[in-house]
Amino acid sequence: MKRRRSPTPLSLSFLDAMCCGFGALVLLFLILSHNSVAQRREANETLQGEVEALERQVLGGRGEAASLVADLEQAGGRRQRLLAQAKAMSENIAGRRYDLAQLETDRLAREAHVNRLQADLKSRDEEFKRLEGGAVRRAEEGDRLRAFPGQGDRQYLTGLKVGGQRVLILFDTSASMLAERIVDIVRLRNLPGAEQRQAPKWRRALATLDWVATQIPPGSRFQIYTFNERAEPVVRDSAGRWLDAGDPAALNSAVDATKKIVPQGGTSLYHAFQVIRELKPRPDNVFLVTDGLPTIDRERGLNYTISGVQRLRFFDDALESLPRGIPVNVILLSLEGDPMAASAFWRLAQASRGSFLSPAEDWP
């Protein structure tokens, strides 16, 4: 029988060292594992905080982006408005340049016309002296059917000859007839009608119409039409027919009817000239009492700002509807901001063999 060997001290020491080393490794692993879990937890918490901070930044950035988009849209709208204003200003500048060129041309024409008028006035003065020396009989005031009160025996050289078998008076009743300045027109048109009828320019226009009516020959026929955006006779139910100038009641009632009118609206010269076409038979003498170029063509447009070039175009369109061969005598009252009116209406009077008068404030 084989004897069992007894353990040696060396073998026991080796096993103890191995167990202790293994235990140390297990303990070291547990310590390191615990530290790594804590570090991962701290890292996760740190990353979570950073993610939340980034999410808040994203939300803030989206809000700022929405605000920037709204600002961009507003800037785009302002840009479009500025472009429209720039275009309108460019058109206005072009119109002003055209007006300046026309004014220069008209200035030269007026200088030549003034020279001719001065020569004509001198010859008329000499002729008047000859007639006065010949004791020519003057017409008596009693031949007139309607009297016009004036200041003493003051007379004016007008060049207007109120004659003919059929006399038509076209009387402007637009809002601009209230005053000479734009700011006064805006102020007066917001007042009651009774106060508007007392405006100095409107009363002067009525006096001008009254003066023309007193010059109508008794054997003639007449008609008075008012016009602004439309044209209509002052005597109701008299459209398209002539009234008897030999009847004082008819003449007085027609003139008195104009005193009840309140000026309003724009000015359409086209509808005023259409009256000449509609009357049968047509007039052989027309008197136009107005204060400027038309602001409306045939119908009112959407644009309430009318340039000088557009008003001249409306004037030329109206002239195309005017029958030929009928004298148009123009009495032009003053109006601020309409420098082309005088030359345009003067050309109309010259072309139709009529007269042109731009009276002073105390006329007639």
Residue 62 included in any domain: yes
Q: Give residue-wise pLDDT tens across range 95-114.
A: 888 888 878 777 777 777 77
Residues 210 and 93 in one domain: no
Residues 167 and 94 in one domain: no
Q: Give residue-wise pLDDT tens across range 309-358.
A: 889 999 999 999 899 889 999 999 988 888 889 999 999 999 999 999 88
Residue 34 included in any domain: yes
pTM of the model: 0.60
Give yes or no for residue 222 having a pLDDT over 90.
yes
CATH number, domain containing residue 277: 3.40.50.410
| Among 56, 75, 99, residue at a domain's last position | 99
Residue 231 included in any domain: yes
* Domain range for 40: 19-99
Residues 183 and 61 in one domain: no
Domain count, the chain: 2
Q: Give residue-wise pLDDT tens across range 12-32.
A: 577 777 788 788 878 777 777
pLDDT level of residue 201 (50, 70, 90 thresholds): very high
CA dist., res. 285 & res. 169, Å (int): 9
Residues 242 and 168 in one domain: yes
Which pLDDT value is given to residue 143?
52
CA distances from 104 to 99, 316, 332 (A): 9, 20, 21
Beta strand ranges found along 85-241 (DSSP E):
166-172, 221-227, 231-233
Residues 329 and 250 in one domain: yes
Residue 206 included in any domain: yes
Beta strand ranges found along 123-242 (DSSP E):
166-172, 221-227, 231-233
Residues 349 and 212 in one domain: yes
Measuring CA to CA, which residue among 172, 173, 169, 189 is closest to residue 181? Answer: 189
Buried b / exposed e over 156-172, threshold 16 CB at 10 Å, is eebebebebebbbbbbb
Residues 86 and 212 in one domain: no
Residues 333 and 192 in one domain: yes
| Among 99, 120, 155, residue at a domain's last position | 99
Residue 358 host element (H or E): none
Residue 136 included in any domain: no
Which pLDDT value is given to residue 157?
43
Give yes or no for residue 301 having a pLDDT over 70.
no
Residues 231 and 345 in one domain: yes
Give yes or no for residue 182 having a pLDDT over 60.
yes
Residues 173 and 289 in one domain: yes
Residue 289 host element (H or E): strand 285-290
Residue 5 included in any domain: no
CA dist., res. 144 & res. 10, Å (int): 165
Residues 95 and 174 in one domain: no
Residue 298 host element (H or E): none
Span 209-237, average pLDDT:
91
Residue 280 included in any domain: yes
| Among 99, 122, 151, residue at a domain's last position | 99
Residues 92 and 232 in one domain: no
Q: Give residue-wise pLDDT tens across range 103-160.
A: 877 777 777 777 777 777 776 676 666 555 544 344 444 455 565 554 433 334 455 6
Residue 107 included in any domain: no
